[in-house]
Structure 1
Amino acid sequence: MIDQILQWDTEVFMFLNGLGTSSWDLFWLIYTSKFTWIPFYALLLYLIFRQLPLKAFFTTIVVVALMIVVADQTSNLFKNGFHRLRPCHLAELMETMRLVKSYCGGQYGFYSAHASNTMAVAFFIGLTLKKRFKYLLYIMIVWAILMSYSRIYIGVHYPLDVLVGMIFGVITGTIFYKLNGYVIQKFNFNSKD
């Protein structure tokens, strides 16, 4: 059964990766880059800063940093535990797939830290700012889904890698959102003092 699932995953990967064209390659390379989104992250931080008292804001920054570390390092545990090679490390796929960037990434790819981190951030920020920005959570989810797809497009992850990464991201983002709220309430960081 596992072999059949992995075979389907490879077939879906080859289909989705094969949809790419050279005219879209630069767009997806820019989209998938962590550095592209620094201004976006700065804007989100600013929106949180405007919404929360100072102590709650600094608590939120610490919690977000911890969340990203947990999401990222959990991915590394899975990668080192499952040892599933990235598609771009398999000679039999390299002949027919599209590898859009020259660097493939680490040897193992299950599950995608990009997908996990962006979905965790999407849920955390979307839930944190939901009272002020009603549709932000949905926008953030679309952003994270596109980020996840970009990993398939450029040839470094299978669909199952990004799907599992997104699921872990949703779980991680929701847990850390609740943890942040608990800490802020417990220590009364919502007060303006």
Structure 2
Amino acid sequence: METLLTWDLKLFFYINGKWNNGFLDFLLPWMREPYFWAPLYLFLAVFVVYNYKWRGFFWMVFFIVTFALTDQSSMFFKDAVARLRPCRDPLIAPYVRVLVTYCPMSGSFTSSHAANHFGLAMFSFLTLRPQIGKWAWLFFFWAAIIGYSQVYVGVHYPTDILGGALLGILAGLLSGGFFQRRIRLELEKTT
């Protein structure tokens, strides 16, 4: 465990302190903000309801349930593990580049951003891949950028992101698998 935590800390300081530039300093704090990524999710909601009618409505319900499941599960782990965030840890906080206006008080493990976005990515991948093909892999790329941003701005360690991603993927597999078995997005047949 000590080796893992040492590796985690080293990787954190590479991402947060060495692998940086002015463009990323500007972009990545925005990537983690809801008003930046909410339009994508709004577009998905409109797209599925418009194209799949009542099935699209149920897709939205499952999408929201997936988000709630990942968010609440992540909060459970945050409370249970009670790991200090890098920007709150008195031993390393003076060396952390914090690129956001606040450092959250909640625990660090697991990252709720990572859990939420990887959960939604897995759910969207499973349910939309038949319609959009290889483009569905972009959901994971999107989630990975948001997870990386959390480390870059100084509010999470890499293992927090990994734990959140695994938690989210599991939740997305459960909700997406259930949705695909019971409802599935299909165009309404016209007679």
Confirm or deny a common fold (TM above 0.5).
yes
Report if the CA contact (8 A) 2:25-2:99 is conserved.
yes
Q: Which residue number in structure 1 is paired with residue 56 of structure 2?
A: 57
Structure 2: which amino acid aligns with 1:150?
A: S
Equivalent residues in 2 for 1:35-46, closer than 5 Å: 35-46=35-46
Spell out, residue by residue over 1:71-112, the C-alpha distance to the aligned partner (whole angstroms, 9 max, x if none): 001001101101111111012212222111121112311000
- Within 2, Cα distance between the matches of 1:139 and 1:177? 17
Gapped regions of structure 1 (runs ≥ 5): none
Structure 1: which amino acid aligns with 2:123?
A: F
Aligned residues: 188
TM-score by length of 2: 0.90
Q: Which residue number in structure 1 is paired with residue 30 of structure 2?
A: 30
Report if the CA contact (8 A) 1:13-1:152 is conserved.
yes
Following TM superposition, by how much is the alpha carbon of 1:192 offset from its aligned partner in structure 2, in angstroms?
5.5
Structure 2: which amino acid aligns with 1:7?
A: T
- Within 1, Cα distance between the matches of 2:141 and 2:58? 27
Spell out, residue by residue over 1:40-73, the C-alpha distance to the aligned partner (whole angstroms, 9 max, x if none): 1121112222442x22122111111111111001
SS of 1:67 mapped into structure 2: helix
Where do 4+ consecutive residues of structure 1 move more than 4 Å? 189-193
Spell out, residue by residue over 1:87-140, the C-alpha distance to the aligned partner (whole angstroms, 9 max, x if none): 110122122221111211123110001001111111111221112211222111
Q: Which residue number in structure 1 is paired with residue 174 of structure 2?
A: 175
- Within 2, Cα distance between the matches of 1:107 and 1:55? 38
Equivalent residues in 2 for 1:151-162, closer than 5 Å: 151-162=150-161
Gapped regions of structure 2 (runs ≥ 5): none
Query: How large is the Cα RMSD of the aligned pairs?
Result: 1.9
Structure 2: which amino acid aligns with 1:158?
A: Y
Q: Which residue number in structure 2 is paired with residue 84 of structure 1?
A: 83
Indicate whether 1:128 and 2:140 are aligned: no
Q: Which residue number in structure 2 is paired with residue 20 of structure 1?
A: 20
Pick which of 4-13 and 68-77 moved more: 4-13
- Within 1, Cα distance between the matches of 2:140 and 2:100? 25
Report if the CA contact (8 A) 1:129-1:136 is conserved.
no
TM-score by length of 1: 0.89
Report if the CA contact (8 A) 2:48-2:57 is conserved.
no
Taking a change above 3 Å as real, the CA distance of residues 191 and 161 of structure 1, as seen in their structure-2 partners, is same
